[in-house]
């Protein structure tokens, strides 16, 4: 198991935290305050065919202080890792809170949280920053070479690796140290139909972004999958284009996670429901007055939020307000029953505790309400298999992998495509299709959910780049789900639609 990075522990963490608490205590106006000290490392490697295109590494460290003065937030950040730098930042945050006070529409009040004095480290076997860059480059070049040797026209491999270290200390007494590592390996290959159609198709591997270390890349089976991908591409180029219409869809976790992200996870962010994101990312049709009554989907739909799932991209022991990780229901039996929220929102709605959804992507940014791992739960009664889902389909489509998507600012009308599409005929797969896109309205789509796979088919997928806020912030998030069967969903021919 990984240990806390010694370079982070070598920073004057306690000295800085004590300086912040002392400065806040001397300012009688401060009712609550915290300091987050960050050290973040990022390495990106990009190879194409037989060439290294880029290898970059960056490191950022600094701190942010957040406090409440007379019911108003104040925030300031700095890279000056000295007691004097912290004291100056606290004074700036106090001044900011006072300047903002005349604009205050409601006073800041926070839901209670127990005091935590703990260290949390994400589950990692091989820290990618301890693997020699030349070894990683060689592995990635071997993989793209396999794609070319198998017949791909082009191939590239990109791997982004991140290590986050944080120390959180608050005036309430919490002192928390965190470290989490994540990586995103993306292998993509492409082929051209040179027999007259001129079609170009690309495809990504089944690898996914994970809260794990370099062991995931080594064990995924990239060389073997490189050859498989070329075979899938060749079959796709030779496959028929889909006829538009209503189809039963069996959607793989590698595609369904994105639909969950856009139509459910964003739709149940409480700050969006309250209108805080209206000028930038929109609102949601799932408004707070409908909690307990809004039918989001069929009774098969059970969606949870959590920061506990092993290797999840949003998995962490404590959020950026020092709230311990939890799991809770968002949609139960198809009904909206909860939201994602932070301490201020929890108090606003008279809830006993936040469910830990505050996150900042940098020491220089204020924590926002950000989504946890939002997941569709598997069949609770039996371990339903993918084959059993297929068996219930007379004529339909099996969809694998995510690609392009669009959704309106109410999280209501949407359209999604994918990487691979297979015709289902009388319960059996019957070759690939091309140009498939499915569209629906969120409650209509989830209302057509008839069956979900069992626990053994449940997978985590996700993304590094969920954007939100002004100034913009980017957060990593995972979504777990099994494959699922949806009845009679509208399918478009994406190529025909693009030519209109």
C-alpha distance from residue 379 to each of 442, 447, 450, 453 (Å) = 21, 16, 11, 6
Question: What CA–CA distance (Å, rounded) separates 500 from 437?
Answer: 15
Residue whose tokens read 């791997």:
159
Q: Is residue 61 within 8 Å of 13, Cβ to Cβ?
A: no
State residue 115's pLDDT score.
98
State residue 28's pLDDT score.
83
Spatial CB neighbours of 323, under 8 Å, sequence gap ≥ 6: 113, 342, 343, 353, 354, 355, 356, 358
Asked whether residue 376 carries a pLDDT value surpassing 80, the answer given is yes
State residue 218's pLDDT score.
96
Does the pTM surpass 0.85? The reply is: yes
State residue 496's pLDDT score.
87
State residue 1's pLDDT score.
58
The phi, psi pair for 45, rounded to 5°, reads: -125, 135
Question: What CA–CA distance (Å, rounded) separates 49 from 211?
Answer: 27
Q: Is residue 128 within 8 Å of 140, Cβ to Cβ?
A: no
Per-residue pLDDT reduced to its tens digit, 144-195: 999 999 999 999 999 999 999 999 999 999 999 999 999 999 999 999 987 7
Mean pLDDT of 43-64: 97
Question: What CA–CA distance (Å, rounded) separates 449 from 473?
Answer: 33
Q: At how many degrees (to 10) do helices 13-26 and 83-100 cross?
A: 40
Asked whether residue 196 carries a pLDDT value surpassing 70, the answer given is no
State residue 497's pLDDT score.
83
Per-residue pLDDT reduced to its tens digit, 325-348: 999 999 999 999 999 999 999 999
Element (H or E) spanning 495, and its range? helix 494-498
Comparing CA positions, the residue from 86, 37, 461 lying closest to residue 251 is 461
Per-residue pLDDT reduced to its tens digit, 232-290: 999 999 999 999 999 999 999 999 999 999 999 999 999 999 998 888 889 999 999 99
Confidence band for 226, pLDDT divided at 50, 70 and 90: very high
C-alpha distance from residue 50 to each of 103, 141, 154, 224 (Å) = 58, 6, 10, 17
Q: How many C-beta atoms lie closer than 10 Å to residue 313's C-beta?
A: 27
State residue 312's pLDDT score.
97
CATH topology of domain 6-237: PmbA/TldD fold (3.30.2290)
Confidence band for 439, pLDDT divided at 50, 70 and 90: very high
Question: What CA–CA distance (Å, rounded) separates 35 from 53?
Answer: 39
Question: What CA–CA distance (Å, rounded) separates 96 from 266?
Answer: 30
Question: What CA–CA distance (Å, rounded) separates 129 from 113?
Answer: 34
Give domain limits for the chain: 6-237, 245-498
State residue 194's pLDDT score.
77
Confidence band for 121, pLDDT divided at 50, 70 and 90: very high
Question: What CA–CA distance (Å, rounded) separates 251 from 374?
Answer: 17
Q: Is residue 325 within 8 Å of 312, Cβ to Cβ?
A: no
Mean pLDDT of 299-315: 97
State residue 225's pLDDT score.
93
State residue 328's pLDDT score.
98
Mean pLDDT of 23-32: 93
C-alpha distance from residue 278 to each of 287, 359, 406, 411, 470 (Å) = 13, 19, 17, 12, 11
State residue 22's pLDDT score.
97
Element (H or E) spanning 432, and its range? strand 428-433
What residues form DSSP beta bridges with 269?
A: 340
Asked whether residue 498 carries a pLDDT value surpassing 90, the answer given is no
Asked whether residue 476 carries a pLDDT value surpassing 70, the answer given is yes
- Give just the sign of the alpha carbon dihedral 436, 442, 444, 447: positive
Whether the link from the prior residue into 314 is cis, omega within 30° of 0, is: no
How high is the mean pLDDT of the chain? 96
Asked whether residue 445 carries a pLDDT value surpassing 80, the answer given is yes
Asked whether residue 212 carries a pLDDT value surpassing 70, the answer given is yes
State residue 280's pLDDT score.
84
State residue 429's pLDDT score.
97
């Amino acid at each position: 198991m990984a240990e806390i990075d010694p370079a982070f522990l070598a920073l004057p963490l306690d000295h800085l935290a004590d300086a912040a608490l002392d400065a806040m205590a001397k300012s009688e106006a401060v009712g609550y305050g915290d300091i987050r000290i960050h050290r973040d490392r990022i390495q990106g490697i990009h190879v194409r065919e037989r060439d290294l295109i880029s290898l970059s590494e960056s490191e950022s460290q600094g701190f942010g202080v957040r406090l409440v003065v007379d019911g108003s937030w104040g925030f300031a950040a700095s890279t000056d890792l000295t007691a004097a730098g912290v004291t100056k930042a606290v004074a700036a945050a106090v001044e900011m809170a006072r300047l903002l006070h005349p604009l205050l529409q409601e006073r800041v009040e926070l839901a209670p949280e127990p005091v935590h004095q703990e260290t949390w480290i994400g589950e990692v076997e091989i820290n990618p920053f301890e693997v020699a860059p030349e070894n990683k480059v060689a592995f990635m070049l071997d993989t793209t070479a396999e794609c070319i040797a198998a017949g791909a026209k082009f191939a590239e491999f990109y791997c982004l690796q991140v290590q986050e270290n944080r120390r959180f200390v608050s005036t309430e007494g919490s002192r928390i140290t965190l470290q989490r590592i994540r990586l995103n390996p993306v292998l993509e290959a492409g082929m051209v139909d040179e027999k007259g159609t001129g079609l170009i198709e690309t495809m990504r591997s089944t690898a996914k972004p994970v809260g794990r270390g370099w062991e995931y890349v080594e064990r995924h089976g990239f060389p073997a999958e490189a050859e498989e991908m070329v075979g899938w591409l060749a079959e796709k180029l030779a496959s028929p284009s889909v006829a538009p219409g209503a189809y039963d869809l069996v959607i793989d976790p590698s595609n369904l996670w994105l639909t969950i992200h856009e139509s459910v996870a964003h739709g149940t962010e409480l700050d969006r429901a309250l209108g805080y994101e209206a000028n930038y990312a929109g609102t949601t049709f799932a408004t707070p007055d409908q909690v307990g009554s809004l039918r989001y989907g069929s009774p098969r739909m059970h969606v949870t939020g959590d920061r506990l799932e092993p290797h999840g991209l949003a998995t962490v022991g404590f959020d950026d307000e020092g709230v311990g990780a939890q799991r809770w229901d968002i949609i139960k039996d198809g009904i909206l029953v909860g939201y994602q929220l932070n301490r201020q929102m929890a108090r606003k709605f008279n809830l006993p505790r936040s469910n830990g959804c505050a996150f900042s992507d940098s020491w220089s940014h204020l924590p926002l309400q950000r989504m946890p791992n939002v997941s569709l739960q598997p069949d609770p009664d039996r371990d339903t298999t993918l084959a059993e889902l297929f068996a219930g389909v007379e004529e339909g489509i099996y969809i694998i992998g995510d690609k392009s998507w669009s959704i309106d600012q109410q999280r209501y009308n949407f359209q999604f495509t994918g990487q691979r599409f297979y015709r289902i005929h009388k319960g059996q797969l019957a070759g690939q299709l091309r140009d498939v896109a499915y569209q629906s309205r969120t409650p209509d789509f989830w209302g057509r959910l008839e069956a979900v796979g069992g626990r053994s088919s449940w997978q985590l997928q996700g993304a590094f780049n969920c954007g939100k806020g002004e100034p913009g912030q980017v957060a990593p998030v995972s979504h777990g789900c099994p494959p699922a069967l949806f009845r009679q969903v509208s399918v478009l021919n994406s190529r025909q639609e693009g030519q209109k």
